């Protein structure tokens, strides 16, 4: 066995796992040889109002990217996530809400019956406000139960939700409200997080100043903190009290949009990724069950925020479609102390725990004692998502958190893919620390030669990761811009979905993600386009030009490194550095704040004026011995200046 093979399953009962190694091989083959038969069968895990007769109708052909699954079936996502469970598990907890501060709020256990009541009430509030099937609703909420109610209420009446992470700025929120022409924004007075409060309502007010006058605003009074109240505002909880607790679910086509979620790309402003109803839910539900080896009675905790796709698929839609108990956490891993995750796992008897490498690294740094204080014996499966996990963090997660008995599923996927794409399966895969390993059912990864686009066959190879055929959870389009969808994902390598990631297929045929090959950076598992940060920087009056790249960061995975050329007459200073970082923070949100700002009298450009980002990346990585050919630069001397004045990364 190669030395990086690892089987931590000494205490994991593989005999009860949904899939073993042979089962995986068999099912995977079946899924790619006859997708219609495989997914036709899997589709039955949902309740359909009109059963589908067609399963897969997809084309990756240039100029005709068209993706439809179960297209003649009809269903309702909220009915699948709530109503169908009422008879058998009405009194079972659907959502455990864990507040930020246990000193001021108590956890809530919301049963499926209570969830039905709340979601129907909120759906009726939306209807009363004039929201109709197909309308867009922007959700800008903390991690409170109302966020899940709002998602499901939209799904119930056929409205399309677009969640904006509560850490985004008023400008970013405004762009997303305008981008999908939303009729309504649902927000809260304040978002408590880590003992601090973000003024969401005030942010929403600022954003709405830039939006059409007829956008309404539904406000959840979360903290009761002071907010201004305008003519467009409605009190969400008060209206829910008065509303009826019955609301029949709308019959939706399988290909009707369920949600839009904005995500960063390598160029331009974020795009609205569109996911639809039937295929998305089948995929979220199946991956949740198989990848986390979910069984009745388990308590599943995904620590993500519903502002990201991970929260959509693995806090709300996947677990609830499966009738699970899902934990929704309002806070942060280190508040009130670095034991918060583990104390919460013990208190709720969490069986599956799913988090990001950045959190694991931060908690590893806080020391083992924080983990050892708590009884984590209920844990069976651990998950990782959002960025490559380094073997050191993997081993700590495995040994200290999992006690060497919980398989770790390192799940590679994207906002665009709706659910897991490459991942080990508990009990079926011999684990390798740091590898996403093998494709989920129906996923056909290929490794391409980056420049020629030729398929690289065989093992022990490296290239860019593409997917050869459609899977049900795939995004269908970019909201309002199908041409951008085709160009972004199918423009570089005809006939293939291009992930934007590089990968290696090792000697055993296992996949390792090597990171983005485009201008997207991954900061603490949050995806950020360098172009977005650059355009925020150049919007500052003192900045003439800016180029932004990622650099390796011990905890965040990648940090943001900005090269800034100031306007003539502006003096560089530490105060200005801080001013620019704070400016970006205000323009986009705290996650976009540059970690390092280097003054660059000039940027390395080709004679045609294109910035050679490869060089900037190398300097930021402190790898300037390998700058490659700089002879095509208009002025090669700028490189020496940048190297001499590079920022100290410690």
Q: Which residues are annotated as a binding site?
A: 193-196, 310, 386-388, 410-415, 501, 516, 524, 527, 538, 540, 543, 585
* Minimum distance, C-beta of residue 500 to ligand PRX, in the bound complex (Å): 5
> Which CB, 356 or 620, lies closer to ligand PRX?
356
CB of 99 closer than 8 Å to CB of 157: no
Q: Does 309 bind ligand PRX (CB under 6 A)?
A: yes
**Token code pair at residue 67:** 């993706």
The secondary element (H helix, E strand) that includes residue 216 is strand 216-220
192/402 with CB nearer ligand PRX:
402
Q: Closer CB to ligand PRX, residue 259 or residue 583?
A: 259
Three-state DSSP at 381 gives strand
What's the token pair of residue 556?
Answer: 């965040």
The one among 395, 522, 581, 598 contacting ligand PRX by CB under 6 A: 522
Residue 310 in contact with ligand PRX, rule: CB under 6 A: yes
- By C-beta, is 264 or 276 nearer to ligand PRX? 264
Query: Where does residue 110 rank: exposed (0-12), middle (13-18), buried (19+ CB within 10 A)?
Result: buried
Residue from 263, 276, 285, 438 in contact with ligand PRX (CB under 6 A): 263
How many residues sit in the footprint of ligand PRX (CB under 6 A)?
A: 22
CA distances from 411 to 82, 414, 439 (A): 26, 10, 10
- For ligand PRX, give the closer residue by CB, 527 or 556: 527
Cβ contact 94:119 at 8 Å: no
- Cβ burial 40-72 (10 Å sphere, 16+ → b, else e): bebbeebebeeebeebbebebeeeebebbbbbb
CA separation for the pair 481, 271 (Å, rounded): 9
Q: Tell the smallest beta-carbon distance from residue 420 to ligand PRX (Å).
A: 8
CB of 434 to ligand PRX, least distance (A): 8
Decide if residue 445 touches ligand PRX (CB under 6 A): no
Q: Could you say which DSSP state residue 210 is in? A: T
From 121, 275, 527, 577, residue interacting with ligand PRX (rule: CB under 6 A): 527
Q: Does 436 bind ligand PRX (CB under 6 A)?
A: yes
Contact criterion met (CB below 8 Å) for 604 and 630: yes
Q: Which is nearer to ligand PRX, 292 or 413 (CB)?
A: 413
Compare residues 288 and 527 and give the one whose CB is closer to ligand PRX: 527
Nearer to ligand PRX, 122 or 475 (CB): 475
Contact call for residues 144 and 330 (beta carbons, < 8 A): yes
Annotated binding site for Mg(2+): 538, 540, 543
- Among 369, 406, 358, which Cα is nearest to 11's? 406
Return the closest-CA partner of residue 386 out of 310, 303, 471, 285. 310
- The reply to whether 302 sits near ligand PRX by the rule CB under 6 A is no
Query: Is residue 617 within the footprint of ligand PRX (CB under 6 A)?
Result: no
Binding residues for ATP: 386-388, 410-415, 501, 516, 527
Coil/strand/helix, residue 514 = strand
CB of 512 to ligand PRX, least distance (A): 9
Q: Retrieve residue 73's tokens.
A: 């079936």
Residue range at the interface with ligand PRX (CB under 6 A); choices 342-350, 405-413, 528-536, 541-549: 405-413
148 or 356: CB nearest ligand PRX: 356
How near is the Cβ of 413 to ligand PRX at its closest, in Å?
5
Tell me: does residue 589 bind ligand PRX (CB under 6 A).
Answer: no
Other beta carbons less than 10 A from residue 492's beta carbon: 16
Where are the strands (E) in 441-540, listed by range? 445-448, 461-467, 477-478, 497-505, 511-516, 520-523, 526-529
Q: How far is the CB of 75 from ligand PRX (least distance, A)?
A: 24
Query: According to the binding rule CB under 6 A, does residue 339 interact with ligand PRX?
Result: no
Cite the annotated binding site for CoA by residue number.
193-196, 310, 524, 585
Q: Closest CB to ligand PRX among 146 and 305?
A: 305
- Each residue 365-404 as x (binds ligand PRX by CB under 6 A) or -, in order, gives -------------------xxxxx----------------
Q: Which of 26, 46, 262, 55 is nearest to 161 (CA)?
A: 262
Report whether 57 contacts 69 (CB < 8 A): yes
State yes or no: residue 415 binds ligand PRX (CB under 6 A). Answer: yes
Residue 553 CA to residue 7 CA, distance in Å, equals: 29
- Write the binding mask 487 to 516 for ligand PRX: x where contact by CB under 6 A, - elsewhere: ------------xxx-----------x--x
CB of 303 to ligand PRX, least distance (A): 12
Sign of CA dihedral 288, 5, 450, 441: negative
Residue 260 C-beta: closest distance to ligand PRX, Å: 14
Burial class for 497, CB neighbours closer than 10 Å (0-12, 13-18, 19+) = buried
Between 367 and 509, CB nearer to ligand PRX? 509
Footprint of ligand PRX on this chain (CB under 6 A)?
263, 309-310, 384-388, 410-415, 436, 499-501, 513, 516, 522, 527
């Amino acid at each position: 066995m190669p030395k990086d093979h690892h089987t931590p399953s000494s205490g994991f009962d593989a005999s009860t796992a949904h899939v073993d190694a042979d089962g995986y091989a068999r099912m995977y083959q079946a899924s790619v040889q006859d997708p219609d038969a495989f997914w036709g069968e899997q589709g039955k895990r949902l309740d359909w109002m009109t059963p589908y007769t067609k399963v897969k109708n997809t084309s990756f052909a240039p100029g005709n990217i068209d993706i439809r699954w179960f297209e003649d079936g009809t269903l309702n996502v909220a009915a699948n996530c709530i109503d169908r469970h009422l008879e058998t598990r009405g009194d079972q907890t659907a959502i455990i809400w864990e507040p930020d501060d246990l000193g001021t709020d108590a956890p809530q256990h919301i049963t499926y019956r209570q969830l039905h009541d709340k979601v129907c009430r909120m759906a009726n509030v939306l209807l009363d406000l004039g929201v109709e099937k197909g309308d867009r609703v922007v959700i800008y909420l903390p991690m409170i139960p109302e966020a899940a109610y709002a998602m499901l209420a939209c799904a119930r009446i056929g409205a399309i939700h677009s969640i904006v992470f509560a850490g985004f700025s008023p400008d970013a929120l405004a762009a997303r409200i305008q981008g999908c022409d939303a009729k309504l924004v649902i927000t809260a007075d304040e978002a408590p997080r880590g003992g601090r409060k973000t003024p969401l309502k005030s942010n929403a007010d600022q954003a709405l100043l830039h939006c059409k006058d007829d956008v309404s605003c539904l406000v959840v009074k979360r903290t009761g903190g002071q907010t201004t109240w305008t003519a467009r505002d409605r009190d969400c909880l008060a209206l829910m009290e008065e509303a009826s607790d019955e609301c029949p679910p709308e019959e939706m086509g399988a290909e009707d949009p369920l949600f839009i979620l904005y995500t960063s790309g390598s160029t331009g402003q974020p795009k609205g990724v569109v996911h639809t109803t039937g295929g998305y839910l089948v995929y979220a539900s199946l991956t949740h069950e198989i990848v986390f080896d979910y069984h009745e009675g388990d308590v599943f905790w995904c620590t993500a925020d519903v502002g990201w796709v991970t929260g959509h698929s693995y806090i709300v839609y996947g677990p609830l479609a499966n009738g699970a108990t899902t934990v929704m956490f309002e806070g942060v891993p280190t508040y009130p102390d670095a034991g918060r995750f583990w104390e919460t796992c013990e208190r709720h008897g969490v069986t599956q725990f799913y988090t990001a490498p950045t959190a694991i690294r931060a908690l590893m740094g806080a020391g083992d004692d924080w983990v050892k204080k708590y009884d984590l014996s209920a844990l069976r499966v651990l998950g990782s998502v959002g960025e490559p996990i380094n073997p050191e963090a993997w081993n700590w997660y495995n040994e200290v958190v999992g006690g060497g008995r919980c398989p770790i599923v390192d799940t590679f996927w994207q906002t665009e893919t709706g659910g897991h794409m490459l991942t080990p399966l508990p009990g079926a895969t011999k684990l390798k620390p740091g590898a996403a390993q093998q494709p989920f059912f129906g996923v056909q990864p290929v490794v391409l030669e980056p420049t020629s686009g030729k398929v690289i066959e065989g093992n022990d190879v490296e290239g860019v990761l593409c997917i050869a055929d459609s899977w049900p959870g795939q995004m269908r389009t970019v909201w309002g811009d199908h041409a951008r969808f085709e160009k972004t994902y199918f423009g570089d390598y005809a006939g293939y979905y291009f992930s934007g990631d590089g990968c290696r297929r090792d000697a055993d045929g296992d996949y390792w993600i090597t990171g983005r090959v485009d201008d997207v950076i991954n900061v603490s598992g949050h995806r950020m386009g360098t172009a977005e940060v650059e355009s925020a920087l150049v919007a500052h009056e003192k900045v003439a030009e800016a180029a932004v790249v990622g650099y390796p960061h011990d905890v965040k995975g990648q940090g943001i490194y900005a090269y800034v050329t100031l306007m003539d007459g502006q003096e560089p200073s530490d105060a200005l550095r801080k001013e620019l970082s704070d400016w970006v923070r205000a323009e986009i949100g705290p996650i976009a704040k540059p970690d390092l700002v280097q003054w660059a009298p000039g940027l390395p450009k080709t004679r045609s004026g294109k910035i050679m980002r490869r060089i900037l990346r190398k300097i930021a990585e402190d790898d300037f011995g390998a700058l490659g050919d700089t002879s095509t630069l208009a002025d090669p001397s700028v490189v020496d200046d940048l190297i001499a004045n590079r920022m100290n990364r410690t």
